[in-house]
């Protein structure tokens, strides 16, 4: 399951640099997460780094993008192969 950022985002800029896949960027009004790039940090870390640093807890699992840990690992492998 990819993550998404709710409209409670305060644009504090702490989540973007924490994302190892470059999935987070500044949107029109708040930060956004690109589901195709989000692995919930599976393959990189034990926990989602953006969730860990978010001071307002506005980063949630996206119910519209349900993925198993196995699927997230495949996505991680695909993303890291492209950057190697």
CA atoms within 13 A on the CB side of 77: 6
> In sequence order, which ranges of the chain are alpha helices (DSSP H)?
49-53, 69-83
Residue 36, domain CATH: 3.30.70.20
26/77 Cα distance (integer angstroms): 25
Count of domains observed in the chain: 1
Domain that holds residue 39: 3-83
Q: Is the pLDDT of residue 84 over 60?
A: no
pTM over 0.85: yes
The DSSP call for residue 18 is G
Kindly report, residue by residue over 24-72, the tens digit of the pLDDT.
999 999 999 999 999 999 999 999 999 999 999 999 999 999 999 999 9
Kindly state the helix (H) or strand (E) to which residue 60 belongs, with its residue range.
strand 59-61
């Amino acid at each position: 399951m990819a993550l998404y950022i709710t409209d409670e985002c305060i644009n504090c800029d702490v989540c973007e640099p924490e994302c190892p896949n470059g999935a987070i960027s500044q949107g029109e009004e708040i930060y956004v997460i690109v589901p195709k790039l989000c692995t919930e940090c599976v393959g990189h870390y034990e926990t989602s780094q953006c969730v860990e640093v978010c001071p307002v807890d506005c980063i949630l699992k996206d119910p519209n993008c349900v993925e198993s840990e196995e699927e997230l690992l495949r996505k991680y492998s695909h993303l890291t192969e492209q950057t190697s």
